[in-house]
């Protein structure tokens, strides 16, 4: 991946083409059942994939939003991670293909994520899930969308969420944290690339100050309990840990784990490091504890 041109030197179309040309290895861990779906988004139907780790008919559900800087990736690239997360947590996992930037800018992706969550909550019986045991999760840009969806659910008084999982979330368009400055080059995700992703996602400079785009600016009181995962050598490390501190200060129960020696995106790299599946096992244990009846 170090041989690829930096994201900020490419167009979104070129970056997507590079990903297709050099696909990551697929391990396809076994799982009880997978079903491809079409679910309502904010403006159009969205692809989704539902993972079931067992034949139980009242599973808790984790609605998962993939990473990729709001610009790249899809549910196919995240197939392995979602399989592993479902198996480790004992939860059904619904992975959502929200609309991407810059073709659709803020708040388009967020509106899709909230619509998908609301759909599964309203149709829980159809999909044999327990609407009283819902969680959201996501990594990187998807971590932003997960906690922003939780903020919307709080504001709109539903669906009720029991938990949120944020894997190295992107939460601050300013990109000026200590870790962003210290680790902004040489660790896969660069500061310049992150600024480029934010510029693709946000529709205006004013959006960078809006809590639903930049959750570090949000009032986080009464959000669901959270697990926040960070990586030692990730430019996004400090904003994720600052958000965990904000949640705690607001009285929200938080489990925060920094994985030493890891870079951004490590949970998607089980073919590189065993720490990837170890982190998902840790998250799975948190979800089991939070969503047990």
For the sheet with 45-52, list strands across it.
33-40, 45-52, 92-96, 59-65, 129-139, 163-167, 226-233, 254-263
Token digits of residue 38: 């079409």
Whether 3 is covered by a domain: the verdict is: no
Q: Which residue has 């994985």 as its token pair?
A: 259
**Residue whose C-alpha is closest to residue 110's, from 60, 155, 78:** 155
pLDDT of 3 above 80:
no
Token digits of residue 112: 């899709």
Token digits of residue 64: 């998962």
Task: Say how far apart CA 256 and CA 66 lie, in whole Å.
Answer: 20
283: Cα within 13 Å, side-chain hemisphere: 34
How many DSSP H helices and E strands does the chain contain? 8, 8
Host domain of residue 170? 26-291
Active site residues: 140, 234, 264
pLDDT at 22 (0 to 100):
87
> What pTM was computed for the model?
0.98
Token digits of residue 56: 């139980």
Average pLDDT over residues 234-251: 98
Token digits of residue 251: 């009285």
SS3 content of the chain, % helix, strand, coil (to 5): 40, 20, 40
Whether 12 is covered by a domain: the verdict is: no
Task: Name the helix (H) or strand (E) containing 149.
Answer: helix 141-155
End-to-end CA distance of the chain: 43
Task: Say how far apart CA 203 and CA 102 lie, in whole Å.
Answer: 9
CATH number at residue 80: 3.40.50.1820
Q: What proportion of the chain, given as a percentage, has pLDDT over 70?
A: 99
pLDDT tens digits for range 115-170: 999 999 999 999 999 999 999 999 999 999 999 999 999 999 999 999 999 999 99
pLDDT at 2 (0 to 100):
65
Q: Which residue has 């944290």 as its token pair?
A: 177
Whether 19 is covered by a domain: the verdict is: no
When comparing pLDDT for 211 and 9, which is higher? 211
The number of distinct structural domains making up the chain is 1
pLDDT of 263 above 70:
yes
The CA-based diameter of the chain, rounded to the nearest angstrom, is 49
Whether 101 is covered by a domain: the verdict is: yes
Q: What is the DSSP string of 173-205?
A: TT--SHHHHHSSSSSSS-HHHHHHHHHHH-SSG
Whether 1 is covered by a domain: the verdict is: no
Whether 65 is covered by a domain: the verdict is: yes
Whether 4 is covered by a domain: the verdict is: no
pLDDT at 1 (0 to 100):
63
CA distances from 166 to 71, 87, 145, 243, 260 (A): 18, 18, 9, 10, 17
**Residue whose C-alpha is closest to residue 137's, from 293, 289, 287, 292:** 287
pLDDT of 191 above 80:
yes
Mean pLDDT over the full length of the chain? 97
Task: Say how far apart CA 210 and CA 85 lie, in whole Å.
Answer: 31
Whether 17 is covered by a domain: the verdict is: no
């Amino acid at each position: 991946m170090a041989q690829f041109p930096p994201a900020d030197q490419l167009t979104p179309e070129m970056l997507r083409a590079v990903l297709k040309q050099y696909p990551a290895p697929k391990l396809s861990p076994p799982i009880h059942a997978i079903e491809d779906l079409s679910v309502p988004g904010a403006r159009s139907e969205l692809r989704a994939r539902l993972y079931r780790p067992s034949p139980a008919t009242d599973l808790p559900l984790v609605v998962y939003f993939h990473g990729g800087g709001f610009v790249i990736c899809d549910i196919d690239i995240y197939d392995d991670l979602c399989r592993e997360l479902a198996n480790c947590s004992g939860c059904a996992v619904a992975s959502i293909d929200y609309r991407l930037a810059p073709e659709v800018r803020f708040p388009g992706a967020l509106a899709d994520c909230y619509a998908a969550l609301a759909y599964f909550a309203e149709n829980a019986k159809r999909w044999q899930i327990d609407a009283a045991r819902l969680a959201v999760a996501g990594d990187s840009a998807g971590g932003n969308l997960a906690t922003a969806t939780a903020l919307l659910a709080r504001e709109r008084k539903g669906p009720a969420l029991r938990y949120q999982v944020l894997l190295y979330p992107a939460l601050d368009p300013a990109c000026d944290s200590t870790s962003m400055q210290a680790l902004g080059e040489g660790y896969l995700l660069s500061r310049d690339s992150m600024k480029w992703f934010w510029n693709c996602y946000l529709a205006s400079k004013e959006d960078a100050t809006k809590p639903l785009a930049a959750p570090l600016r949000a009032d986080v009181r009464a959000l669901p309990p959270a697990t926040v995962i960070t990586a030692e050598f990730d430019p996004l490390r400090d904003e994720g840990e600052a958000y965990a501190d904000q949640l705690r200060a607001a009285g929200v129960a938080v489990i925060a784990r920094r994985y030493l020696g890891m870079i951004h995106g490590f949970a998607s790299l089980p073919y590189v490091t065993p720490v990837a599946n170890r982190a998902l096992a840790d998250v799975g244990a948190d979800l089991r504890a939070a969503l047990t009846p």
